[in-house]
Amino acid sequence: MTKQQESDALRTFTESIPHDSYLRPWLEEIMPQVEADIRNDFPVAPTIEGTRQRCSTMIGEANSQVVDNLARANQQAKDIEAEARTQAESIRGRIAEVIRSCERAVCR
């Protein structure tokens, strides 16, 4: 079947459907794109089911990335907190040393 025969068959089928149907207005609306796809040498636009599957895959991958990102963020937060505690302890130690030094100087 040629591309022209495919277009003609689709138009004939569409015109055979009653005007008050749900299918005919939809087919008439998408007819220009379908005819362009028929003339085109590239694969036809994805099906709704194929699009749903790709969306589902993308959502799964995004969710996986979210889990990974949260795990990394939580670990980084723990690392930052541990470093802050270490620095705070060091500062407390230096302050205590300064206080002891001041006490020794006053008591002399």
Are residues 56 and 23 located together in one domain of the fold? no
Are residues 62 and 77 located together in one domain of the fold? yes
56's tokens: 């589902």
Question: What is the predicted pLDDT for the residue at 45?
Answer: 65
Nearest to 1 by CA among 44, 14, 10, 33: 10
Are residues 40 and 8 located together in one domain of the fold? yes
Say if residues 31 and 14 touch (Cβ distance below 8 Å). Answer: yes
Which residues form the domain of 104?
48-108
How many CB atoms neighbour CB 3 within 10 A? 13
| Longest Cα separation, the chain | 112
Per-residue pLDDT for the chain (108 aa), expressed as one digit of tens each? 899 999 999 999 999 999 999 999 999 998 998 888 888 876 666 777 888 899 999 999 999 999 999 999 999 999 999 999 999 999 999 999 999 999 998 987
Are residues 37 and 55 located together in one domain of the fold? no
Question: What is the predicted pLDDT for the residue at 103?
Answer: 92
Are residues 40 and 52 located together in one domain of the fold? no
Are residues 41 and 93 located together in one domain of the fold? no
37's tokens: 């796809």
Are residues 72 and 106 located together in one domain of the fold? yes
**pTM to 2 decimals?**
0.48
Are residues 101 and 57 located together in one domain of the fold? yes
